[in-house]
Structure 1
Amino acid sequence: MPHTVKLRTESFTKAGQLAGFHSDYALAKAMDVNRSTVARVLSGRLRPGSAFIGGALVALTPMQFHDLFEVVPDTERSDLS
């Protein structure tokens, strides 16, 4: 079964607040992605891509991949098999 990366929404939001980012815009700017991308990933409408993941790890240092994301089965792709 294929796998994908999912955002740990609660951890991501808390890490952003603790890092001093009090809006999606401020966090998106630090991540070098669009505010709408942050909003869509947070809402689950968009999967985090490489730019989002890399930006989050840089902006939210010392957080690590496993703190902010998890690898889960890709149920959307497995339905296509």
Structure 2
Amino acid sequence: MSVRVRIRVDALDKIATGQGLRTRYAIAKRLGVSQSTVGRVLDGEQLPGNPFIAATLTGLDVSFDAVFEVENSEQPTPDQAAA
């Protein structure tokens, strides 16, 4: 089983807009990460890593569940498939 953290883009957009952050640049600046990282995560090209998650929680003052969700996949990881 594989476990991944995914961002809830709609929730982040709502929270960011409520805090006056209307662009990806503004979100990136508040979080202290690059605009390209914000774009890749929001576009689903990259899963949020620990630094991005921590920056989001502290920078936007939100709880984990307000913006992120844990996804369980029944597909085996490469390590599990080889066993």
Range class of TM-score, shorter chain: 0.7 to 0.9
Q: What does 1:2-81 align with in structure 2 at a 5 Å threshold?
A: 2-61=2-61, 63-74=62-73, 78=76, 80=78, 81=81
Amino acid corresponding to residue 67 of structure 2 in structure 1: L
Deviation at 1:70, TM superposition (A): 0.4
The one-letter amino acid of 1:64's match is: S
Larger gyration radius, structure 1 or structure 2: 2
For structure 1, the residue ranges without an aligned partner over 5 or more in a row are none
What's the CA shift string for 1:4-30, capped at 9, x where partnerless? 100011001111110111111111011
- Count residues with an aligned counterpart: 79
> What 5-or-longer segments of structure 2 have no aligned partner?
none
The list of structure 1 runs, each at least 4 consecutive aligned residues, that deviate by more than 3 angstroms after superposition, is none
What is the root-mean-square deviation in Å for CA atoms of aligned residues?
1.6
- 2:19 and 2:52 map into 1 onto residues whose CA distance is 17
Name the TM-score, length of structure 2 as normaliser: 0.86
Q: Indicate the percent of aligned positions where both proteins have the same amino acid.
A: 34
